[in-house]
Structure 1
Amino acid sequence: MLLARLFRCLSLSLALVIAMLTPVPAAASATPEQQLREAAARGNAKQVSALLAQGATIDARDAQGRTALLLATHHNRVQAARVLIDAGADVNAQDAIHDSPYLYAGARGYNEILRLTLANGADLRSTNRYGGTALIPAAERGHVETVRTLIAAGVAVNHVNKLKWTALLEAIILGNGGPAHTEIVRLLVKAGADVNLADGDGVTPLQHARQRGYARIEQILFAADAR
């Protein structure tokens, strides 16, 4: 019994010695830029400020081409985005799929970040991977306030994307004909959208509205001399 106990203690001691002598691989430490992107995505505005003060490169990109500001925008982290923008982050820096903080905020209806980008040099003519301005996906997704904001900022209402659709066409074709999309159609028409600008197949906004039974949208278009 005593011998067994002695052997057990000796084994434990030997294991401890081996563990102490075995080199432990150093943990890969994140760079300041990686930490900045992670803090931005989490919305940790204080850490973002601290990392910038320590010299982290503000517009450094990850493997997908995303900056800290774009990652903050992805998660609608308003305060982190504000810190980055105030520090000079590029609101137009596009990633590998052509999203930028400005374009993404517009497409998702993240209005607080959108307004920050508009106040800090957003390129209104920049386009996403579909060749569309921020206004087109905002109209498609029913973001009424976003559409209103982008129109007021001066985004071209008759821009045609790679699908040969305008914001007006997307609001009708990809919308649901409900109150939000109806209001967006009204806003676009009021802002000078060409109600007779057809899609790539020659189908007009009015024809699309009729096909889908969107009576209120049809009325708005008809009142604007749509054919």
Structure 2
Amino acid sequence: MNKRADQRLLDAARSGNATEVAAALDAGARVEARDSELRTPLLLAAVGDHVAAARVLVAAGADVNAQDHRADSPWLVTGVTGSVAMLHVLLPAGPDLKLRNRFGGICVIPASERGHVAYVREVLRVTDIDVDHVNDLGWTALLEAVILGDGGRAHRDIVELLLAAGATADLPDGDGVTPLAHAERRGFTEIADLLRGVS
């Protein structure tokens, strides 16, 4: 095991230096090397949205599903960053669409919460991800868009996208409260109207 080469690869991936990533691999670094938090080079590249570096790592056979000590994986992180470009780099590597993060969620849930419209649109278009997946909090992507969203245009668009993709409009949270009830409580009139339209 070449620890120096491994560290060189981890540092290059973290900084997004694709040329250095390739050089470190050529020098004997392991594509699945781990840092002190069990993050792989590909996860570091994904966190930083370093697309070129990620492309080199995927070509070298990096595991898109490798999870760190917080259960983050390169694929899951794209839902947090909202990077459509990274989504497309990682997709050919065979992401596990059912892999769960530390909250029991899949990538479309944090993306919906954070208002990443372009990402949600694309992940719904190019995968068969489960739009009704329920995380450990008892929330779906639709519920997170309403409960943790701000009711603005981005979250309205995401609610519309999820509904168009077949999300169950009246699937309640763990307390039995529906997305519509949450939207009404929060005064999100336009989102409530969207939800009523398919209820």
TM-score band (shorter)?
over 0.9
Equivalent of residue 70 in structure 1, options 32, 43, 46 = 43
Offset, 1:158: 0.3
* Superposition TM-score, scaled by structure 1 size: 0.84
State the shift of 1:108 in Å.
1.4
1:147 alignment partner in structure 2: 120
Corresponding residue number in structure 2 for 1:159: 133
CA distance in 2, matches of 1:191, 1:111: 18
1:80 matched to which residue of 2?
53
Tell me which residue corresponds to 2:98.
Answer: 125
**Sequence identity (%):** 52
**Could you say which residue in structure 2 is the equivalent of 1:217?**
191
Q: Does 1:114 align with 2:91?
A: no
1:36-93 CA-partner distances (Å, limit 9, x unpaired): 0001111111111111112211011112110011111111111111111111111111
Q: Which residue identity does 1:213 align to in structure 2?
A: G
**Structure 1 CA distance for aligned equivalents of residues 6 and 86 of structure 2:** 21
* Stretches (4+) displaced over 2 A: none
Cα distance in 2, alignment partners of residues 192 and 37 from structure 1: 40
Q: Which residue of 1 aligns with 2:30?
A: 57
Deviation at 1:30, TM superposition (A): 6.1
- Distance, in Å, in 2 between the alignment partners of 1:140 and 1:188 is 12
**Equivalent position amino acid for 1:210 in 2:** E
| 1:201 paired residue number | 175
AA matched with 2:43? L
- Name which of structure 1's ranges 85-94 and 165-174 shifts more when overlaid on structure 2: 85-94
Task: Give 3-state SS (helix, strand or coil) of 2:132's partner.
Answer: coil
Residue 61 of structure 1 aligns to a residue in which SS? coil
Superposed CA offset, 1:8-60 (max 9, x none): xxxxxxxxxxxxxxxxxxxxx96110110001111111111111112211011
